[in-house]
Structure 1
């Protein structure tokens, strides 16, 4: 929403009647602080983000950046990147954790719960419906037609966001070098994601101690929107958390995480496969560094060979379903949980068992994500005043641009080409498309989506809608 400007003084009025100083820009001009959003207003935006969060982490981070930083200015660029840096260090889907973090900043614990839940809920409902259709009819041929144009639009949205975020995060040569090195390590060398992020953090920590200017954001960066607790979240964000409070969060989080296991003995035939589902995906929740792709091969192997929940090839079908729904890509695990319970019902109706399996999988996968945020975010907020540690997070921010570029190229290759393989030569291991498999219609739709976004200035919703309809019509005709 546009800022509310004051015409009589140097203050601007907040939505609830208090006032906030205008931050001064480097050139002497002033920009007024936007009103702090009400909880109801934020609720509508989180619903919107949850419904439109296509395209994997790159597209989801891009969407949140546009909605929260660019359009509404509810959070500053530097604070957005600060939160993203922390989420990149955690196991689990970083985009969902970023939504939880920002929701917590804006409205405390209830804001974090609502933001994180609404980010997952639409995709969870869709993946349950698609999993049920898949289990009953074993057909997903209609999905590519339905989402053909949607993927092209998401690719354009990701590219727009990549340019926007890179322009703000890479203000120094050292930051640009870190971003380039991170991209090379991920795309060309296929190095582990946690290793790349950790090395970037160490480099930033050492650089900030010797020369803070190497990663120091410009003054205008922080003036994009005020960072005062009275505007971004409540004073809860800056309170020192006692050891007792932290232990309380750990206990409550652990109890919620384990709560479904206490109910499993009540099922008609006992825990059965549900216990194995819960334990297996609980372990996955704490090792999913680097997102869903980092663990999909292992999950597929265990689900097919060890547990025999899936048949060979069904994991790829589940990935196709997850890629065409909003929400984190790790929702593919909900597909696995659905089929596992659908085929080992424990005395329940197969569809009911499948839904319970999907819910159990989703619960044990995402509850820890809230725990990591509520436990660590207050401490991370205080690190903003520590030059060396802020330098480490700023370096991670630069590396994240390389991460997003890697994700964007990976996503783009799979949108624009029908066949993408892997090219290996010595230490190089990179995705490589078959040039003859280029999808001309997908390319044209991507160009059209980019034109609508960059030149016509259409919003995300209209661009997605136009491309979805055009894509479905093209596939029907072709």
Structure 2
């Protein structure tokens, strides 16, 4: 009789949860954290964690170019090079990150860490992906508080702002092509524009349009009444760390679509409603987040440092990213059962349309306040053309700052 080789016992249930006994250890995991998929031998825990840590620290250091660049890097490393997941599984993870609020590329990093090394791996991958940007943005904030009033630094920052507007303009146009592809999504966008004009409450707009889109997808033509909240009054609110943490947590828990929607939230919460930032400080903070690698939501560290030093930077960063960790780690096991629920996908269509409207609304406000000189308008138009032709946003912003210094000190 042929002697059969001993293999780890494997049991898979109908809900795709499985257990594996190997090397005297018992493993239990969800679909997204299964160490025995595709029949590969398991690496020891510490080796997997070390692998995850090294990869996402590297991606956090080289991840210039925004979320699309981050996703492309992760696809190359985790699908093509290391084969942690298949191409279809990677697309599945991307779909899940689009269905939940939070920064998509950071959530994808957490997902991939969970796939490779369980929930601890997800925490490690997310933290190390964020860490380089946090350090760089905090350093820029320190430099800004000490030297931001110098004429040369001021000229450099002023030159970056029209370029930043051009970058966001291209993002809005590209998103609109995808999100407003048919008459239904354009109707949702019209509803979002009307509600934004009436309420000036971006969170109310997102929720209401999402509910309407979900109802439309399910009942096709049902009439849904929406109650709106009164527009917020501009006022100066005394600063406090708990209130700042609460605002950033709210942003992280409700930020759908592109990370550039962060500008809309910051404009509403930190400039208009609390008066904690000037519009110049807001744009400088966003520019710092754009200049550094990693997720743009590390802009929160810049704002936190301006208001409360290093402790403020740390609290702001934790608050804005905490919802992403909680949502991924808690909801990922439910993804396989819920991903085909049609009303949920209908709500996402409406939310994406509303995101485009909110971005365009904020872009219009910023443009009216910034593009007041012929130099700023010219710089904006040049940057718009170059970025539309695939010019790198980071280099364009640096070039805009240098050109601004040149015009101020040489031609004047």
Same fold (TM over 0.5): yes
Tell me how far apart the structure 1 counterparts of residues 245 and 158 of structure 2 sit (CA, whole Å).
Answer: 34
Alignment of 1:165 with 2:178, yes or no, is no
- The answer to whether the Cα contact below 8 Å between 2:93 and 2:111 also exists between their aligned partners in 1 is no
Check if 1:105 corresponds to 2:120: no
Q: Unmatched 5+ residue regions in structure 2?
A: 1-37, 39-50, 80-86, 115-121, 222-238, 255-263, 290-295
SS state at 1:189 partner: helix
Measure, in 2, the Cα distance between the counterparts of 1:70 and 1:183: 35
Task: State whether structure 2 residue 202 is matched by structure 1 residue 193.
Answer: yes
DSSP-derived class of the 1:385 partner? coil
Give the C-alpha shift of residue 193 in structure 1. 1.0
Does 2:225 align with 1:291? Answer: no
Tell me which residue corresponds to 1:202. Answer: 211
Cα distance in 2 for partners of 1:178, 1:78 equals 26
Compute the RMSD of aligned alpha carbons: 3.9
Matching of residue 47 in structure 1 with residue 10 in structure 2: no
Q: Distance in 1 between matches of 2:367 and 2:92?
A: 28
Deviation at 1:284, TM superposition (A): 3.5
Show the counterpart of 1:334. 304
Determine the C-alpha separation between the residues in 2 that align with 1:160 and 1:179: 18
In structure 1, distance between residues paired with 2:267 and 2:393? 26
Task: For residues 174-230 of structure 1, give each alpha carbon's deviation from its aligned partner in whole angstroms, at most 9, with x where no partner exists.
Answer: 0122123323432x3343111111111111211221359xxxxxxxxxxxxxxxxxx
Residues 302-321 of structure 1 correspond to what in structure 2 (within 5 A)? 318-319=281-282, 321=284
TM-superposition CA deviations, 1:274-321 (whole Å, max 9, x none): xx95544344444456722333258846x7xxxxxxxxxx76675464
Segment of structure 1 superposing worse, 400-409 or 284-293: 284-293
| Whole-angstrom CA distance in 2 between matches of 1:410 and 1:399 | 17
Please show how residues 5-16 of structure 1 align to structure 2 within 5 Å.
Answer: none
Name the SS for the 2:265 alignment partner.
Answer: coil
Alignment counterpart, residue 162 of structure 2, candidates 127, 145, 152: 152
Deviation at 1:396, TM superposition (A): 1.0
What is the Cα deviation at residue 443 of structure 1? Answer: 1.1
- 1:470 is matched with which residue: 370, 382, 403? 403
- Deviation of 1:409 after TM superposition, in Å, equals 2.2
Which of 191, 197, 217 matches 1:181? Answer: 191
Relative to the length of structure 2, the TM-score reads 0.61
For 2:141 and 2:336, locate their aligned partners in 1 and report how far apart those are by CA, in whole Å. 35
Aligned length: 308
Q: Which runs of 5+ in 1 are unaligned?
A: 1-17, 19-36, 53-62, 88-93, 213-275, 304-313, 339-353, 417-437
Q: Which residue of 2 aligns with 1:444?
A: 378
Say if 2:71 and 2:105, in contact at 8 Å, map to a contact too: no
Matches within 5 A, 1:398-477: 398-416=353-371, 438-455=372-389, 457-476=390-409, 477=411
| Partner residue, 1:233 | none
Q: State how 1:257-268 maps to structure 2 within 5 Å.
A: none
| Equivalent residues of 2:249, 2:321 under 8 A apart | no
Q: 2:288: which partner in 1?
A: 325
Contact preservation (8 Å) 1:103, 1:113: no
The answer to whether the Cα contact below 8 Å between 1:147 and 1:472 also exists between their aligned partners in 2 is no
TM-fit CA distance, 1:98: 2.7
How far apart, CA to CA, are the structure 1 residues paired with 2:150 and 2:199?
31
Deviations 1:91-115 (A, max 9, x none): xxx5xx3332121233331333333
Q: Deviations over 1:437-477 (max 9, x none)?
A: x211111111111222334x433343333323222212333
Separation in 1 of the partners of 2:184 and 2:287? 37
Report the TM-score, using the length of structure 1 for normalisation.
0.54
In structure 2, the residue matched to 1:393 is 348
1:166 is displaced (CA, Å) by: 1.7
Question: Which string of whole-angstrom CA distances, capped at 9 and with x for unpartnered residues, describes residues 208-257 of structure 1?
Answer: 21359xxxxxxxxxxxxxxxxxxxxxxxxxxxxxxxxxxxxxxxxxxxxx
C-alpha distance in structure 2 between counterparts of 1:394 and 1:70, whole Å = 26
Q: Match for residue 128 of structure 2?
A: 114
